[in-house]
Structure 1
Amino acid sequence: MKKILFILFFSVLVVVAAFVIYLKSNPPLVINGYTSADGNPTNRLIEIENKGIRELQLQTILVDEKYPESAKLIVSKSEPFEIGTKIENNPNMTFHKLTQVRIFPSQYIDRQAIGKQPQHYAIQVNATTIQKVTIQYNYLKIPFTLTAELQPNNEQENDTKLK
């Protein structure tokens, strides 16, 4: 009887460990890119997406190993965050503290519910240059850290993509 319980316990432990290793090697949060907000070069938008199957909760953000002057989560109920997207006074965009809103998985977003349901997420930071972004978040009550090095394009606009 003890041998069966030991085998059962060990099997569950192996499955849980494999699941955690899988999650750590395939993190759910991704950065799609970033751009300047409302033409202000120090006001940056970092577009993020939850590729997981459950909601995730942001904890903190570091820009170039330092806390930014200000950081907000922007939820868009309409258009994606692109160059020239009007952020201020846009009725389809709401501003929140980083930890205030859970980020819904993109695969479950109803793209036909424009104006009614969150469609896109971005983090607004106040920083003159961004070379490295570190986002700490919780997914399934497990802490994760996403670190991305960003590199500017050679275009005239202030749009930037991931390396």
Structure 2
Amino acid sequence: MKKIFFVFFFSVLVVGATFVIYLKSNPPLVVNGYTSVNGNPDIRLIEIENKGIRELKLQTILVDEKYPESAKLVVSKSEPFEVGTKIENNANMTFHKLPQVRIFPSQYIDRQAIGKQPQHYAIQVNAASIQKVTIQYNYLKIPFTLTAELQANSAEKNDTKSN
């Protein structure tokens, strides 16, 4: 009987460890791009997407290893975040504190429910000369960190590098 219990316990342990290793090697949060807000290079809008199967919750944002002047989660119920997107006084965009809103997986977002459900997510960061943004979040109660390197000389969407 002890042998069966040991084999069962060991199997559960191996499956759990494999699952955690898989999640850590394939993190659910990705950065799709970034842009300046109203041409101001000190205010960046970083578009994020949850590629996982469950919702996730942002914890903190670091800009160049320091806390930014301000950081908000921007939720769009209509259009994606592109160069020239008007975010101020837009009825379809709302601003939230980082841990206040959970980010839904993109595969479960109803793209036909424009104006009713969140469609796109971004982080608005206000800090001088932003080069690297570190996003800390929880997914399935496991802490994750995503780091994106931003090019300081361009205000349009760019490719990013993430860990």
Question: Does 2:109 align with 1:112?
Answer: no
Cα deviation, 1:49-90, whole Å, max 9, x if unaligned, reads 000000000000001111100000000000000111001100
Q: Secondary structure in 2 aligned to 1:21?
A: helix
Amino acid in the other structure paired with 1:158:
A
Alpha-carbon offset, residue 128 of structure 1? 2.6
**Where do 1:12-161 residues align within 5 Å?**
12-152=12-152, 158-161=155-158
Cα deviation, 1:140-162, whole Å, max 9, x if unaligned, reads 00000111222256xxx611411
Show structure 1 runs of 5+ residues with no match.
none
- Structure 1 residue aligned with 2:5: 5
**More off after superposition, 102-111 vs 121-130:** 121-130
* CA distance in structure 2 between the partners assigned to 1:60 and 1:159 by the alignment: 24
Check conservation: 2:41, 2:155, Cα contact below 8 A. Answer: yes
Pairs aligned (count): 160
* CA distance in structure 1 between the partners assigned to 2:90 and 2:39 by the alignment: 15
Check conservation: 1:38, 1:87, Cα contact below 8 A. Answer: no
Q: Secondary structure in 2 aligned to 1:67?
A: coil
* CA distance in structure 1 between the partners assigned to 2:120 and 2:36 by the alignment: 16
- Output the TM-score relative to the length of structure 1: 0.94
Check conservation: 1:45, 1:125, Cα contact below 8 A. Answer: yes
* CA distance in structure 2 between the partners assigned to 1:152 and 1:62 by the alignment: 16
**More off after superposition, 124-133 vs 4-13:** 124-133
Amino acid in the other structure paired with 2:33:
G
